[in-house]
Amino acid sequence: MSLRFCNLVLRKCLRCPAHVHVAAQVENASLFLNTGGGGVGRLRITGQIGLHFTPVCYIASKAVSGTLIKSTATETHDRLCHHPASVPPDNDDHEALMVNHPDQPADSKILKVAIIGAPNAGKSTLSNQLLGRKVFAVSKKVHTTRTRAQGIFTEDNTQIILLDTPGLTTPSKMKRHQLERSLLVDPGNSVQEADLVLVLVDVSDKWACTKLSFEVLKCLAQNPNIPAVLVLNKVDLLKCKSRLLDITTELTEGVVKGKKIQVRSAVKPLPKRGGQDRQVAVAKPDGKPQEGGVSELEGRDSDSPANLPEAPVGNSAPRVLSRQELRILRARHGWPHFQDVFMLSAVEAEQVEALKRYLVIGAKPGSWQFHSSILTDQNPQDICINTVREKLLEYLPQEVPYNVSQTIELWQEGDQGELEISLKLNVKKEGHMKMLIGQAGQMIARIAQEAGKDLMNVFLCDVKLKISVKVKK
């Protein structure tokens, strides 16, 4: 029994790549479609290049692809995992860290990354996975994130600052649903501050995956000097993986990093394994169609969307778009200035690793903004409130969780070093209070238990969370 326990601990501590990396050149363009996240390999089938759509893929230039492969290949099986920082449970300790001078090396690098997208695209989930610890609230309901928050992970001489933003919305929706103004302005402000923009798209949403929203396109067009990367999320929920090629072509308008995407593909089933069909997209290096019903995914001409200017080099103020440019944006489906494309599932740590390597490699020389032990700029009490709010959104129906306010009545260290928290939930209706408490108090107990576990993982200490409910008219 003890040997099994030791084996389990060692397996969790050691990094063990599980996927095989397969790279193949995209036809007539210096771009590479890469899949997998572990070792390096190349699969050839009767003179053709077979691309097996594992959940993590990326389309990048040859130089970027080679750097990522080299970075991944240098990771050995006996390399210990990089343990993420934690958040101190005491507000004074957290504030002291925030004002502490960054402990940066002489060759420090930094990269500020804004993550934008439609509501419920998985922005906070991706941020948590990149940080290695859950500090941002996540739920299936829209507008879980209400204001911008920063997450920081520091690795060797590189610091990456993630700007987790609310889902992009419109002024009319903000007024109709009485949303905070932060949901409207925070994403745009974050993009203006960023060195790189990640545009997240939920490919499992059949409406969102075929067209970038006007708000996203407007944000990109106003800041053309800031590089943008397309991230296709939730690919594990997409049954037909070959659709990723169609989605990529549509959302990039057939152009990535100034190069046309021209991929001729055919979907063929591989032998069944474990009762499930495996699918392969086959690309012919010579560009000739494959016999047996090949569907072409031809990139559009790179100059077709030339109504908007090319991205200039260097920093500049956000552009003011004319009415004609706004009309053009409303008619567009994609953005032809993406630097690279990633395809992944943000809930899987291994699949996010390639994107994390990409961000670290892309960091530029510069001074750090935070001490290396800081994980987020959110204070401990804000993290607690957002964590409880996540559980309310998960378990309460319809509009009920949006009408609950929170008050922290007690926050102190116990006799044995545990964190004691007393939280009051204020509701406006008796019926809402009954929903919160649940039958025999089961609902409120479940919320307190699950929120307490999440806070333990953030603060790395025992947490005793007590929640009460009060009707406040």
Distance CA 341, CA 369 (A): 28
Residue 49 has φ and ψ, to the nearest 5°, of -100, 115
Distance CA 277, CA 269 (A): 6
Place of tokens 């193949």: 24
56 in Cβ contact with 343 (< 8 Å): yes
Both tokens of 266, joined, read 């055919």
- pLDDT of 346 reads 93
342 in Cβ contact with 256 (< 8 Å): no
> Could you read off the pLDDT of 6-33 as tens digits, one per residue?
544 444 443 333 333 333 334 444 455 5
393 in Cβ contact with 141 (< 8 Å): yes
223 in Cβ contact with 309 (< 8 Å): no
**pLDDT per position in the chain (473 positions), as tens?**
444 445 444 444 433 333 333 333 344 444 555 555 443 332 233 333 333 344 456 666 666 666 666 665 555 343 344 567 888 998 888 888 888 889 999 999 999 999 988 888 888 899 999 999 999 888 876 656 656 788 999 999 999 999 877 655 555 544 554 454 544 454 556 688 889 999 999 999 888 788 898 888 988 988 889 999 999 999 999 888 888 888 999 999 999 988 887 654 434 444 444 444 444 333 333 333 333 322 333 333 333 333 333 444 444 566 777 888 889 888 888 999 999 999 999 999 888 999 999 999 999 999 999 999 999 999 999 999 999 999 998 998 878 888 899 999 999 998 888 999 999 999 989 999 999 999 999 999 999 999 999 999 999 999 999 999 999 87
Residues in contact with 278: Cβ distance below 8 Å, sequence separation at least 6, in sequence order: 52, 269, 270, 271, 272
How much of the chain is helix, strand and coil, in % rounded to 5? 35, 25, 40
Query: Which residue intervals of 14-122 are DSSP H helices?
Result: 62-73, 91-99
Residues 399, 401, 407: CA angle, nearest 5 degrees: 140
Query: Which residue intervals of 363-408 are DSSP H helices?
Result: 380-395
Q: DSSP string of 151-205?
A: EEEEETTEEEEEEE-PPP--HHHHHHTT--THHHHHHHHHHHH-SEEEEEEETTS
Q: State pTM to two decimals.
A: 0.74
Q: Which of 57, 110, 187 is nearest to 359 (CA)?
A: 110
Can you tell me whether residue 439 is helix, strand or coil? Answer: helix
71 in Cβ contact with 158 (< 8 Å): no
**Is residue 34 exposed (0-12), middle (13-18) or buried (19+ Cβ within 10 Å)?**
buried
Q: DSSP string of 289-341?
A: PPSS-PEEEEPPPTTTTTTSPPPPSS--PPPPPPHHHHHHHHH----TTEEEE
- pLDDT of 187 reads 54
> Cα 436 vs. chain centroid, distance in angstroms?
31
Distance CA 159, CA 154 (A): 4
- pLDDT of 274 reads 47
For residues 443, 444, 446, 450, the Cα torsion angle rounded to the nearest 10 degrees is: 140
